[in-house]
């Protein structure tokens, strides 16, 4: 499939999403709109996924005309147990997206019909291994909310528009040349990230930053055991690892934790939309720093994360935390007002001996004093920091912060730390800067080769970092290029002399004219 065809399909998909936005404009707020569209896309996706799975099995068995969507609920019920074991969920034929759509415009109780369908899908996994992955999955798609309309009739009218819009999308998870469901998810996130993606230090991670972060974390590897994100958000970083390595090459699956309930639900939906089976991911809903949920799954070979910047946490107000095996090695806790290095210590603690962690960081943690300096000293003295990368400013929606990437390793080849100044590696796109494929390739190539390049990168010995009081700012070690114009002093002096001479001539001429005027008077 050509790149042009992929772009054509992507453009068609994006236009379809905008069409739904136009239909619902004024009725549903943008950020809520995203949840409704993604939820309905997910409902369509798992309906088609289940139907295709069953139909393929029956066709292989010799029934070429079999169609699960046309089966009676009573007959289909017999396959429930086996389907829950294999797919993780079950949907009756009458509750499939295609069949609900057929009756939607004439269903005066459409909101209740959808509410029942969503709850039945969730309940189908109860008592099975997939229960945790489906519990509460549709909670943010409130079909009875006033956000959809002030009356039941108005809500149902908008739900019909939503169903028809999603039905008309060119979404076929088997045949699309692009990852259609996944691309739609990412497009919707970026549509509304600028005005709703920032909350309490949280920022939606642009795809290009996810690409860079993940390529660094998996550099030199063709397969890994597990991928983990302690602040996984919508799951984009976990899924980028699946895309780069191939999901089959992440042998034991994808693990993440998210404190925000809505984003946690979206992350699980995102996993399904990217065709990650229920037994290949484990996303938890809790506070990672205070209640980590994957003690039995660590260590992880790949950790990628963009944790919230400078959020508050309990810190030394909680006497238990200083004895937590994740934080105690540094002998000090991250400040209560800035939990950034708590996420770093957590990630390091759960990193495998042969693993790599790549984490987006707020630049202040690289140079501030106090407890943060003591934690940096612990990390450097024990040779855990592999690389610091200065990123360009204005990469993230809703903020112009120039962030950094900290790369951690438990087993380094030497005691040097690589510093890369990638602050000029971007192109300007509308109001934001963007990393191109070339920018990403240059940074990753330098990370792998670890060569010194003037004004761009430098490997720094432990002793120099210690002498600099454990300051990890890239500008301390990589001298920026002086782009000011070189001035030729001799030439400049000659030009000044010429100007002075001309000034004297002009002054004499002016004095002469003034004298003549005085005489005439």
What confidence tens digit (pLDDT) does each residue in 276-290 have?
Answer: 999 999 999 999 999
User: Confidence class of residue 442 from pLDDT cuts 50, 70 and 90?
Assistant: very high
What is the pTM assigned to this prediction?
0.86
Contact 310, 283 (CB under 8 A): no
Contact 385, 412 (CB under 8 A): no
The two three-digit tokens of residue 414, written as one number: 């030497």
Q: Is 32 helix (H, G, I), strand (E, B) or coil?
A: helix
- According to DSSP, the residues that pair with 420 across neighbouring strands are 389, 457
- What value does the mean pLDDT take over residues 181-190? 71
User: Confidence class of residue 119 from pLDDT cuts 50, 70 and 90?
Assistant: very high
What are the E-state strand segments in 143-208?
none
Contact 254, 281 (CB under 8 A): yes
CA atoms within 13 A on the CB side of 139: 13
The two three-digit tokens of residue 172, written as one number: 């076929």
Q: For 124-128, 176-180, 218-222, 266-270, which range has the lowest pLDDT when averaged over its residues?
A: 176-180
| Mean pLDDT, all residues of the chain | 89
- The answer to whether the peptide bond before residue 299 is cis (omega within 30 degrees of 0) is yes
- According to DSSP, the residues that pair with 254 across neighbouring strands are 227, 281
**Strand pairing class (351-361; 300-305):** parallel
Q: How far apart are CA 96 and CA 48, in angstroms?
A: 8
User: Confidence class of residue 34 from pLDDT cuts 50, 70 and 90?
Assistant: confident
Question: Is the pLDDT confidence value at 295 over 90?
Answer: yes
What are the E-state strand segments in 44-180?
none
User: Confidence class of residue 32 from pLDDT cuts 50, 70 and 90?
Assistant: confident
User: What is the layout of strands, in order, in the sheet containing 281-285?
Assistant: 281-285, 254-258, 227-229, 300-305, 351-361, 404-409, 385-390, 416-421, 457-461
User: Confidence class of residue 501 from pLDDT cuts 50, 70 and 90?
Assistant: confident
The alpha carbons of the chain give a radius of gyration, in whole angstroms, of 29
Q: For 202-216, 412-426, 501-515, which range has the lowest pLDDT when averaged over its residues?
A: 501-515
Q: Is 214 helix (H, G, I), strand (E, B) or coil?
A: helix
DSSP state of 224: B
- According to DSSP, the residues that pair with 227 across neighbouring strands are 254, 302
Q: How far apart are CA 39 and CA 220, in angstroms?
A: 37
The two three-digit tokens of residue 227, written as one number: 């991928």
Cβ-based neighbours of 181, under 8 Å, separated by 6 or more: 41, 45, 171, 173, 273, 274
User: Confidence class of residue 440 from pLDDT cuts 50, 70 and 90?
Assistant: very high
Q: Give the H or E element holding residue 180.
A: helix 180-196
- What value does the mean pLDDT take over residues 223-240? 94
What number of other Cβ atoms are within 10 A of residue 299's Cβ? 16
What sign results for the dihedral spanned by CA atoms 395, 396, 398, 404?
Answer: negative
């Amino acid at each position: 499939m050509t790149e042009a065809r992929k772009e054509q399909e992507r453009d068609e998909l994006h236009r379809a999403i905008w069409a739904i936005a136009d239909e619902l404009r004024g009725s549903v707020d943008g950020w809520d709109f995203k949840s409704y569209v993604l939820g309905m896309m997910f409902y369509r996706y798992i309906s088609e996924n289940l139907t295709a799975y069953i139909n393929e099995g029956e066709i292989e068995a010799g029934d070429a005309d079999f169609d699960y969507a046309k089966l009676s609920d009573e007959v289909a019920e017999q396959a429930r147990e086996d389907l829950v074991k294999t797919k993780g969920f079950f949907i009756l034929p009458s509750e499939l997206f295609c069949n609900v759509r057929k009756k939607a415009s004439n269903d005066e109780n459409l909101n209740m019909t959808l509410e029942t369908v969503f709850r039945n899908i969730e309940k189908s996994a109860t008592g099975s291994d997939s229960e945790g992955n489906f519990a509460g999955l549709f909670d943010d798609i409130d079909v009875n909310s006033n956000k959809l309309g002030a009356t039941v009739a108005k809500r149902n009218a908008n739900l019909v528009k939503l169903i028809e819009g999603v039905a008309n999308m060119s979404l076929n998870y088997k045949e699309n040349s692009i990852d259609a469901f996944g691309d739609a998810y990412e497009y919707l996130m970026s549509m509304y990230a600028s005005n709703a993606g920032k909350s309490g230090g949280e920022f939606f991670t642009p795809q290009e930053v996810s690409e860079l972060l993940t390529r660094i974390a998996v550099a030199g590897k063709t397969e890994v055991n597990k991928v983990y994100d302690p602040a996984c958000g919508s799951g984009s970083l976990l899924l980028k690892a699946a895309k780069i390595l191939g999901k089959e090459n992440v042998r034991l699956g994808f693990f993440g934790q998210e404190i925000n309930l809505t984003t946690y639900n979206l992350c699980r939906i995102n996993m399904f939309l990217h065709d990650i089976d229920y037994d290949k991911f484990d996303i938890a809903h809790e506070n990672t720093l205070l209640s980590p949920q994957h003690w039995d799954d660590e260590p992880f070979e790949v950790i990628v994360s963009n944790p919230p910047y400078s959020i508050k946490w309990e810190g030394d107000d909680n006497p238990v935390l200083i004895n937590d095996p994740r934080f105690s090695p540094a002998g000090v806790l991250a400040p209560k007002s800035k939990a950034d290095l708590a996420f770093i210590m957590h990630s390091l603690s759960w990193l495998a001996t042969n693993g790599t962690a790549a984490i987006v960081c707020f630049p202040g943690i690289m140079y501030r004093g106090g407890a943060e300096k003591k934690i940096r000293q612990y990390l450097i003295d024990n040779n855990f920091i592999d690389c610091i990368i200065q990123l360009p400013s204005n990469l993230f929606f809703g903020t112009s912060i120039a962030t950094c990437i900290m790369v951690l390793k438990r087993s380094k080849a030497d005691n040097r730390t690589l510093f890369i100044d990638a602050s000029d590696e971007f192109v300007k796109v509308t109001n934001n800067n963007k990393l191109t494929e070339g920018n990403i390739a240059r940074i990753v190539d330098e990370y792998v080769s670890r060569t010194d390049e003037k004004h761009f990168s430098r490997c720094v010995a432990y002793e120099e970092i210690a002498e600099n009081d454990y300051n990890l700012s890239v500008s301390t070690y990589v001298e920026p290029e002086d782009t000011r114009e070189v001035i030729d002093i001799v030439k400049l002096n000659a030009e000044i002399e010429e100007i002075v001479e001309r000034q004297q001539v002009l002054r004499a001429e002016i004095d002469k004219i003034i004298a003549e005027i005085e005489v005439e008077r």
